[in-house]
Amino acid sequence: MSKNKLLIPLLAVLLGFVSGAIVMLITGHNPIEAYSALLKGAGFYGNIKRLGDTLLNTTTLILTGLSIAFAFRTGLFNIGVPGQMLMGGFIAVLIGAKLSYPAAIHVPLAVIGATVGGACWAFVPGILKARFRIHEVVSGIMMNYIAMWSVYYFVPVLIPGNFNTESRPIIQTASLRTEWLSAIFKGSYVNSGLFIALFCVVLVWWILEKTTFGYELKSVGFNIHASKYAGMKVNRNMILSLMIAGALAGLAGATFYIGYADNIKIGMLPSHGFDGIAVALLGLNNPFGVLLAALLFGFMNAGRLFMQSATNVPNELVPIIIAIIIFFAATSLMLQTWLQRVEKLVKRNGDK
């Protein structure tokens, strides 16, 4: 049975790439060339800098994936990740641009600010769900746009930059980039956010598997009625769970806006939020699965621009493949049933 469970993500990925190949063939491109350019752009042919870029992309995706996976395990769909990531990132940039401290203080301060910012932003859908039973998807979507327009307003007011579509840059003492890391990866923007992300993978696993808190969260996610009957404080757990998910998303914001970037651009929601959904699904909501899935999407995102310039295949092919993968992963229930039927058929024929 668990063999089948692992098969689903692999199948979904395979089908995604096959579909991508079909799309390319239809539009007159060569899939093999394109995929190999994708790999090259991601550093798999030995380019250390590009490999660093893969890890860079992976970093943010691990965190958004963890955020969504964690919330899913507790029965909640945290579609508010983009907004939480944006708010977290905004707070980090604010701290990074407006305050001045030595790096040993500045960086942790900004990171903590991002974490708290994300958690607070997720508090709203949490309490709306707990008190008023409002679906977290609806409130999450609303909060996404409130976040986007809030940042749109506050950046020009508080930390205006050279263009009116972005903020001014952070002081370098706040950046997550470090000299030795950038040196190893020959100039890639990969940063200590990577270590934060990896730490979070282990942390999430530990919380879910080893603590009574994780036990309660899973219980609420599986069966809210039995959890109430067992005396668990269901509402409090829901809120806490979303806040933790929000904190992870806020961290993602830090890794992006003060790790990869130096400032924040206004008027858009970061796409890593929605990509996180794909990562969580593919990773079967398991922290280590999320790590692997993030790696996959990380390399795809790292290589896409190179692919476009090398083969003229539009780089939007990558989100297309990602969406198709989500599609197949989402229909996994049926795939599972089909696989079971195939198994039975094989067995029956084997017995004859």
Partner 1 sequence: MWDILTSIVPLAIAYTAPLLIIAMGGLFSERSGVVNIGLEGLMGVGAFAAAYTMLTAAPSMGPSSVYLGLLAAALAGGVFSLLHAFASVTMRSDQVVSGTAINILSAAITVFLARSLTGSANVQIAGLIKDNVPVLSKIPVIGPLLFGNAYSSTYIVLLIVVVSWYVLYYRPFGLRLRACGENPQAADSLGINVQRMRYIGVAISGIYAGLGGGIVIATYSWEFSPLVYSGLGFLALAALIFGKWNPWGVLGASLFFGLAKTVADMSKLFESLNNLPNIFFNTFPYIVTLIALVLFSKNAAGPKAAGEPYDPGKR
Partner 2 sequence: MDYIIEMLNIRKEFTGIVANDNITLQVKKGEIHALLGENGAGKSTLMSILFGLYQPDKGVIKVRGKEVKITNPNIANELGIGMVHQHFKLVHNFTVTENIILGIEKTSNGRIDIKAAAAKIQELSNRYKLFVDPHAKIEDISVGMQQRVEILKMLYRDADILIFDEPTAVLTPQEIIELMGVIRSMAAEGKTILIITHKLKEIKAVAENCTVISKGKSIATVDVAETSQERLAELMVGRKVSFKVEKQPAKLGEEAFRLENVNVMNHRGIHAVKNVSLSARQGEILGIAGIEGNGQTELIEAITGLRKAESGKILIKGADISNMDVRKRSESGLGHIPEDRHKYGLVLDFTLEDNMILENYYKEPFSKGGILNRDKIRSYADNLIKQFDVRSAQGPITKARSMSGGNQQKAIIAREVDRSPSVMIVAQPTRGLDVGAIEYIHKRLLEERDKGKTIILFSLELDEILNVSDRIAVMFNGEIVGIVNADDTNENELGLMMAGGRRNTDE
The residues that touch partner 2, with contacts defined as CB under 8 A, are 210-213, 215-216, 218-219, 222-223, 225-231
Q: Which residues pair with 166 in a beta bridge?
A: 265
Is 78 within 8 Å of 47 (Cβ atoms)? Answer: no
Long-range contacts of 287-293 (CB under 8 A, 24+ apart): 287/66, 287/69, 287/201, 287/202, 287/204, 287/205, 287/208, 288/201, 288/205, 289/9, 289/69, 290/62, 290/65, 290/66, 290/69, 290/201, 291/62, 291/198, 291/201, 293/9, 293/61, 293/65
d(CA 267, CA 277) in angstroms, rounded, equals 22
Q: Which two tokens stand for residue 101?
A: 């401290």
Cβ proximity to partner 2, 212 vs 349, nearer residue: 212
> Residue 315 carries which DSSP code?
T
- Residue 146 near which of partner 1, partner 2, none (CB within 5-8 Å, type-dependent): partner 1
Shortest spacing between CB 211 and partner 2, in angstroms: 5
- Residue 132 near which of partner 1, partner 2, none (CB within 5-8 Å, type-dependent): partner 1
Which of 220, 281, 284, 302 forms a contact with partner 1 (CB under 8 A)? 281
Count of CB atoms within 10 A of residue 237's CB?
Answer: 22
Q: Is 35 in the site for partner 1 (CB under 8 A)?
A: no
Q: Is 282 in the site for partner 1 (CB under 8 A)?
A: no
Shortest spacing between CB 292 and partner 2, in angstroms: 23
Q: Is 17 in the site for partner 1 (CB under 8 A)?
A: no
Q: Is 223 in the site for partner 1 (CB under 8 A)?
A: no
Touching partner 1, residues 122-161 (CB under 8 A): 124, 128, 132-134, 137-139, 141-146, 149-150, 152-154, 157
Shortest spacing between CB 77 and partner 1, in angstroms: 6
Cβ proximity to partner 2, 53 vs 216, nearer residue: 216
Q: Which of 175, 161, 319 is nearest to 260 (CA)?
A: 175
- Residue 183 near which of partner 1, partner 2, none (CB within 5-8 Å, type-dependent): none
Cα–Cα–Cα angle for 263, 291, 307, nearest 5°? 65
Q: What are phi and psi of 265, to 5 degrees?
A: -100, 145
- Residue 229 near which of partner 1, partner 2, none (CB within 5-8 Å, type-dependent): partner 2
Pick the stretch among 219-227, 233-241, 271-279, 292-300 that binds partner 1 (CB under 8 A): 271-279
Which of 273-296 are b and which e, b meaning 16 or more Cβ less than 10 Å from the residue's Cβ? bbbbbbbbbbbbbbbebbbbbbbb
> What is the contact surface with partner 1 in residues (CB under 8 A)?
23, 27, 77, 79, 124, 128, 132-134, 137-139, 141-146, 149-150, 152-154, 157, 267-268, 274-275, 277-278, 281, 314, 316-320, 322-324, 326-327, 330-334
